[in-house]
Amino acid sequence: MADFNVNILGCGSALPTTRHAASSQVIDLRDKLYMIDCGEGTQVQMRRMHIKFARLNHIFITHAHGDHCFGIPGLISTLGMLGRNGDLTIHAPSELKEYIQTIVKLFCQGMPYFVRFNPVNTNEYSLVMEDRSVSVYSIPLKHRIPCCGYLFVEKQREPHIIREMIDFYQIPVRAIQCIKQGADYVTPEGKTIPNAWLTRPATPARRYAYCSDTGYFPKILPYIHQVDLLYHEATFAEADAARAYETFHSTAKQAATIARDAEVKRLLIGHYSARYEELTPLLDEAKSVFPQTCLAQEGMSLSI
Amino acid sequence: MADFNVNILGCGSALPTTRHAASSQVIDLRDKLYMIDCGEGTQVQMRRMHIKFARLNHIFITHAHGDHCFGIPGLISTLGMLGRNGDLTIHAPSELKEYIQTIVKLFCQGMPYFVRFNPVNTNEYSLVMEDRSVSVYSIPLKHRIPCCGYLFVEKQREPHIIREMIDFYQIPVRAIQCIKQGADYVTPEGKTIPNAWLTRPATPARRYAYCSDTGYFPKILPYIHQVDLLYHEATFAEADAARAYETFHSTAKQAATIARDAEVKRLLIGHYSARYEELTPLLDEAKSVFPQTCLAQEGMSLSI
């Protein structure tokens, strides 16, 4: 099965610590890289995880808080120094357009590639980007400023060929691609073999949802229903639920409640407040509601 | 003797590596902190070195290349979240004004303190800032864009009291401060004791010079003559001297030549190109010209 990995570059929150880096993830899907959020220090985290700069073409930013976007200037400068040619597209709420434009104007004169800005609608679920491998949708979230999560939906894959039937009918290799596309096979004698005899349905397309930053917001449930993996912020422990409410963040238990109610397969929590040196209590609180939970940590790579 | 320390937060150059952080230093002088350059990741380096955010009031930026200033947005945001009240002054070439203003406008609404911008003249040696502890001067450097180094000159300290003489004349404690300021002492009998009998001259004021980024530029010699410590960039080894010349950087040997000709007491080299995994050759090349050289490294704290 083709790669679909989520690499955790940073899962801390706004205040800097030596334990966690600011938010950033890189999705590795069929050998292309898609970044979600780009907090300060992201480019060094890429180096640390041996993530190739050249394979990155799209960056998705959730909102205009520094811990989610202050790594962009360094990264786009570095890509220029590395001699990049192809466009880089930054998909982000329109609040970030002036920031990106100012950085490019002041620091990226004569850079060998172009930075495109694609404004993202944070108010409704909508298609942000698609290519041959993936469709990416925005997921409206509830935060202090306009903010959206992102849903990565792998493009439908080809059906599986039933090797025994291909051999039985002595179907030539040149016909296989058409059969994968849904065609029946006609034998040299003129007999039609229905496609359904020759193939099994494709593995369902995998889906990954990233929901940070957000307060507890059940309106997202239909968009993330039964995703293979959900990353949901869990800034606070239950004891600090009032603080979570005030700041439009979630507790670990709220993240787990969303995961349970959306019937997702697995939950990954992160965006930990700097106040917690030890994260086991957050994990325990989440697991009490949704057992298939794990803690994000820098350097982690999860296969979907 | 009062503290005068140089803390190395980062001494790498433009391309990110896991071995070095981007340029930043913090001068600790009489319990106040002064930052020079603020590359991406500086705030985490401060945490790592246990440098108190609250004691920092002045940031000096050498030039508008990202590896010297992309840590500013994160740092000023963090200072706001930590509830800072007092002004923060950023002294920098005027090219950086729009950058700072844009960041403050887009990311620092409602912050509890004020960020002042002080444009620095990079074309001539001139006073940038002074307070009760230090005078800071700009040092014109030779780089691809306007760039200056900074000279930190400790304010003249008080003369030393000669304890034996104070005891001999039974001079009361309340008179000591006046004597430190240069006053003679008049005994109750009306006899004048000259100040020179009671004091020894103050220790000469200490000086630290930071010169990065720059090509080999002997015009700086008069400004850094006999400083206690010189930090001079040494981006390249001698084998890459042509590259140094093209990019307006220095080799380690050139840095040492400047140190020797300025008769400085000690030389600290840094701003290493990402191409060198091993820095001993740079150190050896520098020492062949100026033996009192050492390699900067992250986490180092030097007493001046």
Residues of A in contact with B14 (CB under 8 A): 77-78, 81
Length of chain A: 304
Mutate to test the interface with A, among B103, B106, B108 (most CBs of A within 10 A): B106
pLDDT tens figures, B3-47: 899 999 999 999 999 999 999 999 999 889 999 999 999 999 999
Q: Decide if A215 contacts A251 (C-beta within 8 A).
A: no
Residues of B in contact with A64 (CB under 8 A): 106-107
- Chain A nearest-CA distance from B98, in A, is 8
**pLDDT score of B83 more than 60:** yes
Residue B160's pLDDT band, with cuts at 50, 70 and 90, is: very high
**Peptide bond before residue B67 is cis, with ω within 30 degrees of 0:** no
Max Cα-Cα span within chain B: 75
**pLDDT score of B202 more than 80:** yes
Are B64 and A106 within 8 A, CB to CB? Answer: yes
A172 phi/psi in degrees, rounded to 5: -70, 155
Residues of A in contact with B47 (CB under 8 A): 16-18
Residues of B in contact with A81 (CB under 8 A): 14-15
Are B40 and A14 within 8 A, CB to CB? Answer: no
Q: Can you give the pLDDT at residue B156?
A: 86
pLDDT tens figures, B263-304: 999 999 999 999 999 999 999 999 999 999 999 999 999 999
**pLDDT score of B1 more than 80:** no
**Peptide bond before residue B213 is cis, with ω within 30 degrees of 0:** yes
Q: Can you give the pLDDT at residue A157?
A: 82
B133 phi/psi in degrees, rounded to 5: -105, -30
Q: Which residues of B are catalytic?
A: 67
Chain pair A-B, CB pairs under 8 angstroms:
94
Task: Determine which one of A28, A37, A67, A213 is catalytic.
Answer: A67
Global model pTM greater than 0.80: yes
- Chain B nearest-CA distance from A104, in A, is 11
Among B48, B78, B102, beta carbon nearest to A98: B102
Cα gap B16→A4, rounded to integer Å: 26
B48 phi/psi in degrees, rounded to 5: -60, -35
- The CA distances from residue B154 to A14, B151, B220, in Å, are 36, 10, 19
Mutate to test the interface with B, among A15, A38, A44 (most CBs of B within 10 A): A44
Cα gap A209→A247, rounded to integer Å: 22
Q: Decide if A118 contacts A88 (C-beta within 8 A).
A: no
Q: Can you give the pLDDT at residue A6?
A: 98
Q: Which residue has the tokens 């917001």?
A: A217
Q: Buried b vs exposed e over A48-58: b needs ≥16 C-beta within 10 Å?
A: bbebebeebbb
Check: complex ipTM more than 0.85 = yes
Residues of B in contact with A21 (CB under 8 A): 44
Q: Mean pLDDT per segment of 10 residues, for chain A of length 304 residues?
A: 89 96 97 97 98 97 98 97 96 97 94 96 97 97 98 92 93 92 92 94 92 98 98 98 98 98 98 97 98 98 96
* Residue A297 CB neighbour total at 10 angstroms: 15
Mean pLDDT in chain B?
96
Q: Can you give the pLDDT at residue B235?
A: 98
Residue B2's pLDDT band, with cuts at 50, 70 and 90, is: low
Are A47 and B17 within 8 A, CB to CB? Answer: yes
- The CA distances from residue A281 to A15, A237, A275, A290, B155, in Å, are 20, 7, 13, 14, 52
Are B71 and A15 within 8 A, CB to CB? Answer: no
Cα gap B2→B4, rounded to integer Å: 7
Residue A105 DSSP SS3: helix
- Provide the token pair at B303: 């007493």
- The CA distances from residue B250 to A202, B38, B68, B124, B218, in Å, are 59, 21, 17, 20, 12
Q: Count CA atoms within 13 Å of residue B220 on its CB side.
A: 34
Residue A150 DSSP SS3: strand
Cα gap A44→A18, rounded to integer Å: 14
Among B21, B67, B73, beta carbon nearest to A70: B73
Alpha-helical (H) ranges within B153-251 are: 163-168, 176-180, 195-198, 221-224, 241-246
**pLDDT score of B221 more than 60:** yes
Q: Average pLDDT of B89-116?
A: 96
How many Å separate Cα B294 from the centre of its chain?
A: 17
Q: Which residue has the tokens 């982000």?
A: A92
* Residue B119 CB neighbour total at 10 angstroms: 14
> For residue A199, what are the β-bridge partners?
A161
- Chain A nearest-CA distance from B43, in A, is 7
- Nearest C-alpha in A relative to B81: A15
Residue B157's pLDDT band, with cuts at 50, 70 and 90, is: confident
